[in-house]
Structure 1
Amino acid sequence: MTRMLVDVDTGIDDALALAYLASLADVELVAVTASPGNVDAQQVATNTLALLELCGRGNVEVAVGAEVPLAIPLVVSPETHGPQGIGHAVLPAPAGTVSPRHAADIWVEAARAHPGELTALITAPLTNFALAIRREPRLPELLGKVVIMGGSFYHQGNTTPTAEWNTHVDPQAAKEVYAAFSGLPEDRLPIVCSLDTTERMELRPGHVRRLAAAAGCAIEELVLPEQPEGLRSRAGNPLVRHLSDALRFYFEFHRLYNQGYLAHVHDFFAAGVAAGTLEYSTRPATVDVEVDSPLLVGTTVADYRGLWGKPPNARIVTDNNPAAAFDELISSVGRLAARLG
């Protein structure tokens, strides 16, 4: 059993990542916390509650922490994820409520209670994680495994020419988090899923069709580039229908920016790394984040050769297997959708 703390900014690809984790019988979601990012933190929490309930995980504690980044104003991305954060999907209103506890307190208390046992997955800006480390500087040592979706090294940024979205939203938090892991043994360093490998995770209309088939949908689920924008799914399976509607928006966004009718599902890959279900390889490096330059703010820099004279503080993913990853996604989420009906 993998016991997991997750921090999200749900978010279309966060939603897919959560659906995937919910589909894994050997993953226990200890808590899911909401950072501001794709949408504001309260909307993130609402989306997360609704999605977890849709996936049969309505008993998971969902909490809000920070409402804004550590030192700069919050910027959200309705053009990328839709006004509510989940594209064209309209999830049922959640029956559950947001926890009264602060996200950082949840992380610290859980890690102290179960030292070395918990896997941490952060697919959002690192705001809540940085706040948790401020409250408990030993947190990097208390967590068993840490996976971060963020950064861009030898790859063009997706927010500025050099910066990836999560890091750009709160570069100060990212800088603090990487610094907190300096000097730890290599096997305790965070695994960083950057754009260099997450943008290889190109989900396409054929994957949506295969997912619906795996879920037992009677009618083919066709999300096609020639169809009208905003067309809603008629799938009888609720999970398939909502994921299809979310992903259609993501396809339309990527096409608008000349990337093709596809979706880069960054967070699903990071979730699979955290769960131990996907193939990947890593290389240790010393990572730092630019926070002062107006031109380069949010840029992540990796020193692989020790030129700074500082010990590694991260393990950067250098390779993955997208075809095998999508086979796993379709099989696992398809089974979950079929089971839930």
Structure 2
Amino acid sequence: MTLPVFVDVDTGVDDAMALMYLFASSDADVVGIASTAGNVPVEQVCANNLGLLELCGLDIPVSKGAEQPITAPLRTAEDTHGPEGMGYAQLPATDRELTAHDAADAWIRAAHAHPGELVAIAVGPLTNLALALRREPALPKLLRRLVIMGGAFDYRGNTTPVAEWNISVDPEAAAEVFAGWGAAWGLEPPRHLPIVLGLNLTENIAMTPALLSRLATAAESSTTPMSVLDDRGTRSNASNPLIAVLEDAMRFYFEFHFDQNEGYLAHLHDPLAAAVVLDPDLVTCRPTTVDVELTGTLTRGMTIADWSNRWGREPNALIGVDVDPKAFFDRFIARVGAFAKKLG
């Protein structure tokens, strides 16, 4: 069965990989892309999304989101993703245009166009989704499934000692989303809860040069395998244009993680969310109540899971607690490899 999919991204290297997974999946029909300020400013996110569509020859509506978080000043992550968000990769020029409506309206339009069927992922700050919930409080009832990449549960942060990047950029938006989800159902038991994939889960999904070489092989693309001994910024010589873009993007990501003493690898946070929105059985989840710290001097942006039900509140999220990285990468390589081969 093909699922209509709505994607909210702050593209971003791993966001681009998530989009490629969805583009490559025969069980996904991507009906809209919302651009969120995060890894880079929203104008650059829009440009990246349009450039990826040009590269892939696809026609999907792209909408611009808010330029700033709800209350906090915007912080971006060019040190992680490169000056344009795509590492060393250069995307093709395009004359494709954005929708006339903004990203919050795009959420609402997609949900009303596919009531009870739409599956959605939010893999950047939750600004657009929070604004959409303000305009359409019943949005959770219109979705079939929501997957959020964000937070860190019983795990260290990657932005502060306790906070994950997406939540930390706009913690007020995240708090509104978790609160708004429960409010949408009122006294009625929720038919579904958002699946939340935090760093405790996504950092198990580590792309390596060996896995990237497997992807090139699946695409029947010639390429020179990457190595930590390569000169910084070495460009891909892959014969397949899509593989070349992904390798140039990933090299920057590898170098960043290496400089953080994590090894010559890269955590594919967002592609896991893309896989889970199509097949939730890829991860094991636990229901709980999640809230976001907004005022702590040292803990702002921290996601707190009430595993012991100290608050006495109904669960508002399903937290991912276990995943099989091999199963994910086997599926990722098979799908994206075949897609790249077809494009090449």
Provide the TM-score with structure 1 as the length reference.
0.97
Name the CA distance, whole Å, in 2 between partners of 1:103 and 1:5. 11
1:193 matched to 2:197? The reply is: yes
Structure-1 residue corresponding to 2:144: 144
Question: How far apart are 1:193 and its partner, in Å?
Answer: 0.6
Write the mapping of 1:1-341 to structure 2, written as runs, cut at 5 A: 1-57=2-58, 59-182=59-182, 184=185, 185=189, 187-217=191-221, 219-276=222-279, 279-341=282-344
1:12 alignment partner AA: V
Question: How far apart are 1:115 and its partner, in Å?
Answer: 1.6
Distance 1:221 1:331, change over 3 A: farther
- Structure 2, unaligned stretches of length 5 or more? none
The more displaced of 240-249 and 269-278 is 269-278
2:29 alignment partner AA: E
1:212 alignment partner AA: A
2:196 alignment partner AA: V
CA contact (8 A) 2:32 2:110 kept: no
Name the CA distance, whole Å, in 1 between partners of 2:140 and 2:218. 39
Give 3-state SS (helix, strand or coil) of 1:162's partner.
coil
The more displaced of 288-297 and 195-204 is 288-297
Name the CA distance, whole Å, in 2 between partners of 1:307 and 1:182. 17
CA contact (8 A) 1:116 1:144 kept: yes
1:76 alignment partner AA: T
Name the CA distance, whole Å, in 1 between partners of 2:224 and 2:269. 23
Deviations 1:158-189 (A, max 9, x none): 00000000000000000000001226545511
Deviations 1:50-83 (A, max 9, x none): 11221232x1000112110000000000100000
Percent sequence identity over matched residues? 49
CA contact (8 A) 2:293 2:303 kept: yes
Name the CA distance, whole Å, in 2 between partners of 1:129 and 1:262. 31
Name the CA distance, whole Å, in 2 between partners of 1:223 and 1:177. 40
Give 3-state SS (helix, strand or coil) of 1:228's partner.
coil
Question: How far apart are 1:278 and its partner, in Å?
Answer: 6.2
CA contact (8 A) 1:49 1:96 kept: yes
The more displaced of 273-282 and 119-128 is 273-282
Question: How far apart are 1:156 and its partner, in Å?
Answer: 0.6
Name the CA distance, whole Å, in 2 between partners of 1:52 and 1:305. 45
Question: How far apart are 1:309 and its partner, in Å?
Answer: 1.1
CA contact (8 A) 2:223 2:237 kept: no
Runs (4+) of structure 1 moved beyond 3 Å? 183-187
Name the CA distance, whole Å, in 2 between partners of 1:264 and 1:187. 32
CA contact (8 A) 1:7 1:34 kept: yes
Question: How far apart are 1:213 and its partner, in Å?
Answer: 0.7
- Structure 1, unaligned stretches of length 5 or more? none
Name the CA distance, whole Å, in 2 between partners of 1:102 and 1:294. 33
Deviations 1:265-288 (A, max 9, x none): 100000000011761111001000
Give 3-state SS (helix, strand or coil) of 1:10's partner.
coil
CA contact (8 A) 1:119 1:143 kept: yes
Name the CA distance, whole Å, in 1 between partners of 2:281 and 2:265. 21
Provide the TM-score with structure 2 as the length reference.
0.96
1:227 alignment partner AA: D
Question: How far apart are 1:154 and its partner, in Å?
Answer: 1.0
Count how many residue pairs are aligned between Structure 1 and Structure 2: 339
Name the CA distance, whole Å, in 2 between partners of 1:274 and 1:160. 28
Name the CA distance, whole Å, in 2 between partners of 1:76 and 1:127. 14
Name the CA distance, whole Å, in 2 between partners of 1:35 and 1:248. 24
Name the CA distance, whole Å, in 2 between partners of 1:302 and 1:208. 34
Give 3-state SS (helix, strand or coil) of 1:76's partner.
coil
Distance 1:74 1:245, change over 3 A: same
Give 3-state SS (helix, strand or coil) of 1:134's partner.
helix
2:211 alignment partner AA: H
The more displaced of 133-142 and 48-57 is 48-57
